[in-house]
Copies of this chain bind each other. A is one copy, B any other.
């Protein structure tokens, strides 16, 4: 309970008033203090649950989820977060064919939101589309709210778009903050966000992009490593470059995995698809050229196969700081000899970091809950203090 009071004191010092009644799309659209508020409230909500204090602020209310890509982890994180706050998740199982017209987005968004407090969307597959779609949804329900159609303004939380994966990357960073004993200890740390080989293809770019866009704000030295041709969105590289400048960190690019691992404190080896290829694929989908997509997929798999040595092996780990950098992954990882013949990471490396990986993932429900909390509650310090003082039990028989 002392810890809780301290966290509330920290929250008091931050300016995050613009988060109220607002959406969460990209981490770099938020100020440093706003991100700190998200971390602080996430820690508070976790402490409350661990002390059997229910942070339920809704007696009833809906949270709409829309997953345009398969999801287990994020789906359960969103469900957990909403349940914790008292919202019931209703999944919009949208046929892919129904989304062709802007009109339909506007209409559907309003039709499902008459009693919705939050909308969570995952739309990460098509370059140039996901983030735009989310904005369209948000604008549509704002219009609906202003016109008196909706009784409340549903706020939007991006559960992964084509540009960023904010709930993942924020959970990753909160893990780092706790692992290294505070945000101040991240200054100067070396993080290697590197490409890794996978026998599957076409994995979204939002994690590497989100990581370089977020971690460069912490004064870290962030290296983005990938084989030639596996570039991420140039706009996001610019964000990373600018962030590093401001924070006193560094943003380095290289085509050598070894260079990135050299003396790294943290490594994040993960497969992704080249953004240029994904853009081409998006266009082919738009044109309905499915045969050409198949050709493209084969090309990409062949291209991948040239870089099978981009694996996080024990040898690679030895290059890192004292041979024991923190290994990170958003999961599920392609583990050599376990989930595939050859993949992103050696089984022994993965196993050694399993608990840390699970802890990393465990922050996500609280990050999501925190984002929702800050977008819905006008005076978070007041509300949290009141709840903590009255101690409503989450589990009545503890």
**Chain A contacts to B: CB under 8 angstroms:** 46, 49-50, 54, 56-62, 72-73, 76-77, 79-80, 83-86, 88, 90, 92, 101, 103-104, 107-108, 110-112, 114-117, 144, 147-151, 331-332, 335, 338-339, 355, 358-359, 361-362, 364-365, 376-379, 383, 392-398
With CB as the reference atom, state the residue of chain B lying closest to A143: B355
**20 A-B contacts, Cβ less than 8 Å apart?**
A57-B395, A58-B395, A59-B394, A61-B394, A62-B76, A73-B112, A76-B90, A76-B111, A76-B112, A88-B88, A103-B335, A104-B332, A114-B364, A117-B395, A147-B355, A147-B358, A149-B359, A149-B362, A150-B362, A376-B395
| Given A90-B76, A394-B61, A111-B383 contact (CB < 8 Å) | no
| A interface: dominant SS | mixed
- Neighbouring B residues of A101 by C-beta, 8 Å: 338-339
Question: Given the known A-B contacts A362-B149, A383-B397, are A392 and B59 also in contact in the complex, defined by CB atoms under 8 Å?
Answer: yes
CB distance from A10 to the nearest CB of B (A): 20
B46, B56, B62, B147: the one contacting A80 at CB < 8 Å is B62
Q: Which of A117, A147, A364 has the most CB of B within 10 A?
A: A147
Shortest CB–CB separation between residue A48 and chain B, in angstroms?
11
Given A50-B151, A62-B79: A72 in contact with B376 (beta carbons within 8 A) = no
Tell me, in angstroms, the Cα distance from A88 to B81 when the chains sit together: 12
Residue of B nearest to A115 (CB): B80
Name the B residues within 8 Å of A148 (CB-CB): 359
- Contact flag A77-B355 (CB < 8 Å), given A60-B86, A88-B83, A107-B332: no
Q: Are B114 and A80 in contact (CB under 8 A)?
A: yes
The residue from B61, B79, B84, B114 contacting A76, defined by CB atoms under 8 A apart: B114
Q: Which residues of B contact A378 (CB under 8 A)?
A: 397-398
Q: Which residues of B contact A86 (CB under 8 A)?
A: 60
Assess the B103–A338 pair: CB atoms within 8 A: yes
Chain B residue nearest in CB terms to A360: B149
Q: How far is the CA of A330 from the CA of B239 in the complex (A)?
A: 46
Known: A76-B111, A149-B358, A151-B50. A56 touches B62 (CB 8 A): no
- Shortest A383–chain B CB gap in Å is 4
6 A-B pairs closest in CB distance: A80-B115, A383-B397, A377-B397, A54-B59, A149-B358, A76-B112
A115 touches B72 (CB 8 A): no
Q: Which residues of B contact A72 (CB under 8 A)?
A: 92, 108, 111-112
Tell me the bound Cα distance from A101 to B395 in angstroms: 34
User: Given B331, B355, B358, B393, which contacts A59 in the complex, CB threshold below 8 Å?
Assistant: B393
Which residues does chain B contribute within 8 Å of A355, judged by CB atoms?
147, 149
Q: How far is the CB of A174 from chain B (nearest CB, A)?
A: 14
Q: Chain B CB within 10 Å — which of A101, A150, A362 has the most?
A: A362
In the assembled complex, how far is the CB of residue A9 from the closest CB belonging to chain B, in whole angstroms? Answer: 20
Name the B residues within 8 Å of A396 (CB-CB): 56-59, 383
Q: How far is the CA of A398 from the CA of B21 in the complex (A)?
A: 12
**A398 proximity list for chain B (CB < 8 A):** 378
Known: A61-B83, A62-B79. 8 other contacts (CB 8 A): A56-B59, A60-B83, A60-B86, A72-B111, A80-B115, A103-B339, A378-B397, A383-B397
